[in-house]
Structure 1
């Protein structure tokens, strides 16, 4: 558990007149500060005809503003007072952030305000070329997407929204112009769709005043909401894309409960049992014992209203079936085999350490509390540590058995498999479907009996 002698700081919050939520996390024991702006915009907000527009706009905003009318001038201003401005577009939101000394926090906020208040939307055509280069590592020589995670998301969540590629489709991006960027900016870059978080050794009230001074003049706008994602109905399913690289990428993915669900802490615990350090289950079995891959891991991706658990690795084409069997073996065992006390306590202590160490990282603290505000949450690191401290081995197994069903998996394979191995993949899928069919028949029978 978190050391109570050094209590977690309490964020100081203020909602500006334009709806922007501002917060400051005082960390007086540190020497650097972090400024982070969340914007509720990303690929999940895009219709098919808007694919990649959020990511393009993020790039275009660096092309200058009224006060700093070029990329060079804007970046020079940021780098004179901070580590430089970084930005990232995700599915649920976009971020702009910089680390700096405490005395430079107002200056960074001033520059962010200038950038968001009067962007020039210049050089859109040049930035489209930059994005085309950025997206090349996800494509093969013929322009097909061969990124395993992109393909898995699209297969699991068909259509626009959560399954859409963050960077978008190149043919769609080629059509965008300044007017498209301006329209998307005016829709999403407004006070009601923003959270600004600052963490570090700063005065909270003065920092909130600075946020208000430099970002409080943005238009209020209309709050944007996310639609419930549409999930594939015919799971388990296989997506195989032939790609003649040196290895095959494998991913097993499940859509599962949101962060607010009572079972979510137990599922997070399960993911950490699978992949948290060199002695975790996936690495121990797939790498250390069988030597089938250099790395095997599990990611628990958190989105608003839903989570995705993904188990993934890369291996030689000829080892795909053996590797898949090993991944399935480890995954199935999570719902049946006991977790011994030493393994369980090791994971628990590592989680507690990770949560405690957030107090020493202003960027992580700003991200944690800012994202909670963006998603209308209230979970603090201390509260999460307390919830995780109450999780038991039996609850982990039970949550896994309830939510991570082998008959609900999306299997995605990108590689160059021999015909016999492709047939073996289909046989594996058929075996996974059998329990799913039996479960559906039993459910219908129970419903009929109840009726």
Structure 2
């Protein structure tokens, strides 16, 4: 039987997974080593260690013992980076297809063989604390963090990715090595290559087996599942005396990552708060002049999720902006969306996917994320079919399902103290 899937999936004997995504018309290759671990796998005592570890690998590995050595991809004209998220860490790069072996080897070294020397730990800790202070000086980032923490209080899901200064100061080389040993288990690893891979697929499989096939399984920690019941709207205020503007997030609890609701909701999100033609942009910025930037987005995890709206507004206009945003939510709940809005959103989403599909790095993320989360993989074409099947009634049903006053939350960063009158506005 012919395999017509646009990707190839292989599983090593130790459960490491390999995904190859062939692309035509490109001369580059993107490689990624994803590990299904992030801040929600930590404890409060070592909060931030996943991100700390991701920083530390660039200080040297067994084969590339210095920072200069690790940056060898840049010396051949490529791009190298990494990031830590709540539930995944990703070591990724992009290079010419002729350099695929070097690109994959560097990511292998970063993920599997960091040196984690104490002298480097002490120096990098100070770097991360400076990174933390930078976030503290960015109200837009601060309000997003405050909103997330108020959604999931007293849980590992609600902890900061970067950690706290106190938790970071408790982390030394010993803790980093132990965390790496325990959490970087083979069944959590996904190796992804996208771009010019067809000609060397056999060699890629051989190298993946050689470099990743001998990793022994570890006894890992599982995540703490979150189950929170919210019975009334809530307001969280962070006072920042030097803030020149108020930054707010208003949102609602929605659905988990695998929910079938995500297809219709992605279209609704485009209609409400993505781009110049969205309802929120036209009403809050263009018509009322209350903000410069406004957008909506979703954050969905294994068992819970939310949808939120961010805006930066003048401090004296927070009440007006809050009323206007909630007014738009009320209109959506009462009247739903139109068929024309659905058609435009569907076309826009398909076009965005077409643009992104020209970049190999998009595909390492698209397929890698689904695989590391142990989801049934949807190709871009599969996804488009799901989008095509969404009706206006589907979206309007979801609006009524999730637009509930009792699950409203608002976070605000500004230069004033908490204003109880704002909490009274939180209703749909």
Could you tell me whether the CA contact under 8 Å between 1:8 and 1:359 is conserved in 2?
no
What is the CA–CA distance in structure 2 between the aligned matches of 1:243 and 1:87, rounded to whole Å? 31
Could you tell me whether the CA contact under 8 Å between 1:255 and 1:308 is conserved in 2?
yes
Q: Where does residue 345 of structure 2 map in the other structure?
A: 347
User: 2:15 is matched with which residue: 9, 15, 19?
Assistant: 19
Partner SS, residue 79 of structure 2:
coil
Deviation of 1:8 after TM superposition, in Å, equals 8.7
Q: 1:160 to 1:230 in 2, by over 3 A?
A: same
Could you tell me whether the CA contact under 8 Å between 1:157 and 1:230 is conserved in 2?
no
Deviation of 1:331 after TM superposition, in Å, equals 1.7
What is the CA–CA distance in structure 2 between the aligned matches of 1:101 and 1:9, rounded to whole Å? 24
What is the CA–CA distance in structure 2 between the aligned matches of 1:126 and 1:94, rounded to whole Å? 22
What is the CA–CA distance in structure 2 between the aligned matches of 1:267 and 1:376, rounded to whole Å? 22
Moved more, 393-402 or 317-326: 393-402
Could you tell me whether the CA contact under 8 Å between 2:78 and 2:96 is conserved in 1?
no
Partner SS, residue 282 of structure 2:
helix
User: Equivalences for 1:64-75 in 2 at 5 Å?
Assistant: 64-75=60-71
Could you tell me whether the CA contact under 8 Å between 1:158 and 1:231 is conserved in 2?
no
User: 2:58 is matched with which residue: 62, 70, 74?
Assistant: 62
TM-score calculated relative to the size of structure 2? 0.92
User: Equivalences for 1:254-403 in 2 at 5 Å?
Assistant: 254-377=252-375, 378-403=377-402
Could you tell me whether the CA contact under 8 Å between 2:146 and 2:411 is conserved in 1?
yes
Deviation string 1:59-101 (CA, Å, 9 cap, x unpaired) is 11111012221112222x2223452320100001011100011
Deviation of 1:235 after TM superposition, in Å, equals 3.4
What is the CA–CA distance in structure 2 between the aligned matches of 1:166 and 1:368, rounded to whole Å? 22
Q: 1:233 to 1:211 in 2, by over 3 A?
A: same
Could you tell me whether the CA contact under 8 Å between 1:27 and 1:359 is conserved in 2?
no
What is the CA–CA distance in structure 2 between the aligned matches of 1:382 and 1:13, rounded to whole Å? 17
Q: Where does residue 187 of structure 2 map in the other structure?
A: 192
Could you tell me whether the CA contact under 8 Å between 2:57 and 2:114 is conserved in 1?
yes
Could you tell me whether the CA contact under 8 Å between 2:52 and 2:128 is conserved in 1?
yes
Deviation string 1:219-276 (CA, Å, 9 cap, x unpaired) is 3324654332243634311111222200111101223112322322222221111123
Q: Where does residue 439 of structure 1 map in the other structure?
A: none
TM-score calculated relative to the size of structure 1? 0.88
User: 2:225 is matched with which residue: 219, 225, 228?
Assistant: 228
Deviation of 1:156 after TM superposition, in Å, equals 0.8
- Given the alignment of the two structures, is residue 130 of structure 1 paired with residue 130 of structure 2, yes or no? no
Deviation string 1:343-387 (CA, Å, 9 cap, x unpaired) is 221111011112233431110011111111111112222111111
Moved more, 276-285 or 350-359: 350-359
Partner SS, residue 30 of structure 1:
coil
Could you tell me whether the CA contact under 8 Å between 1:253 and 1:309 is conserved in 2?
yes
Structure 2, unaligned stretches of length 5 or more?
Answer: none
Deviation of 1:177 after TM superposition, in Å, equals 0.3
